[in-house]
Copies of this chain bind each other. A is one copy, B any other.
């Protein structure tokens, strides 16, 4: 994929419009309602939280995705509409219905996403007024506004767009995402909306999205908490004019690579912008015997509060890293494990190594640090996990964020 640095995001692909506004759902008065719209019906795919306590919009959007087709995404921040029972479900459905009515489309073609406080009812009067206000503002340049309106404690919007060629046609793809708190693997661990003008069948689109999410959003961790509201949705409206992709051919592979580029970029952005994060940490697990083993080892390190606070303190405390790998369930043998930080070997065959303390201190002081653990268990390609450090600000943000 050729990445384009225009910030056009979800409106980069042909036929898509978007916008974000302040609908007074947030007390702060910040933008809190986003709309993404395709001028023609699009093929849709989605991945959703696996939390048993899923929010109402997750249930509603799962039904829409199951139909294989959608034309709009209405998404709010400020209220998660989770743990809100039958009333919450009715409210999420009404959000879809009101949006559909204003857009003159079928309610079953509207995806609903929410993020924010759990346990509060959706302020439906404000939402309904917001939807009425937002539709006329849809714009070819509205992606940045939409990207801002889905944020909660994120410090900035995450977006990417680019092009790739399929069947001789230039295809556009773009996305917006939000992350920050309650970030943990097992599903689309945040909100992510992707649009493309590719022509592709529902089953191929879902297959590509599920596979790409597994390698991206499911490989990041901020705090080990899995949200009630996570979803990644992709709309593909076919306006690029390529022959519709209906099997795993070369075109599918070209598209998959572009999609993986998009979601890996956003996943890393989310980990780097984790609540209170001061450092972005890449964990490479080499020579696992399987993806599952590599992921277990990488995730145990990524989730360890002791490792995360050590990075915050800029301390190359390899003991905590090896300790986390040891309890990971990945069944490592410390006597056949090697660890490097920023390329400097610091642990080998069950023991620490002498290393250049000054050089390592310099690496630990950087904001972007890579840790590589070779577990010599098999031949699996590198398994990569992304995380951030654990700081005073994480405690501050989550200790002071009141219900």
Residues of A within 8 A of B (CB): 50-54, 80, 82-85, 87-88, 117-119, 181-182, 184, 186, 223-228, 303-306, 309-310, 312-313, 315-320, 322-327, 331-335, 347, 349-352, 390-392, 394-396, 398-403
Contacts and interface: CB of A to CB of B under 8 A. Distances in A.
A396 to B, nearest CB: 7
A229 to B, nearest CB: 9
Contacts of A320: 118, 225
A395 B391 contact: yes
Contact of A53 (B85, B117, B310, B326): B326
A347 B83 CA distance: 9
A318 B317 CA distance: 35
A121 to B, nearest CB: 9
Nearest to A332: B52
B322 A352 contact: no
12 contacts: A51-B323, A82-B323, A83-B318, A83-B322, A83-B347, A85-B335, A117-B319, A224-B224, A225-B306, A227-B323, A391-B399, A392-B392
Q: Which 8 A-B pairs have the closest CB atoms?
A: A118-B319, A53-B326, A313-B399, A309-B398, A226-B327, A85-B351, A119-B352, A52-B326
B53 A224 contact: no
B395 A325 contact: no
A88 B52 CA distance: 46
A306 B53 contact: no
> Which of A319, A335, A396 counts the most chain B CB atoms within 10 A?
A319
B83 A52 contact: no
A352 to B, nearest CB: 4
B395 A312 contact: yes
A400 B392 CA distance: 12
Nearest to A389: B399
A313 B228 contact: no
Contacts of A118: 317, 319-320, 322-323
Contact of A313 (B51, B315, B402): B402
Contact of A400 (B88, B313, B349): B313
A280 B310 CA distance: 24
B403 A317 contact: yes
Contact of A401 (B182, B313, B396): B313
Contacts of A304: 224-225
A350 B81 CA distance: 12
A398 B310 contact: yes
Contact of A395 (B316, B335, B395): B395
B306 A398 contact: yes
Contact of A327 (B225, B303, B396): B225
Nearest to A227: B323
A197 to B, nearest CB: 35
A88 B305 CA distance: 27
Contacts of A331: 52
Contacts of A333: 52
Contacts of A332: 52-53
A350 B402 CA distance: 20
A119 B348 CA distance: 11
> Which of A228, A323, A324, A403 counts the most chain B CB atoms within 10 A?
A323
Given A83-B322, A85-B351, A323-B228, A394 B305 contact: yes
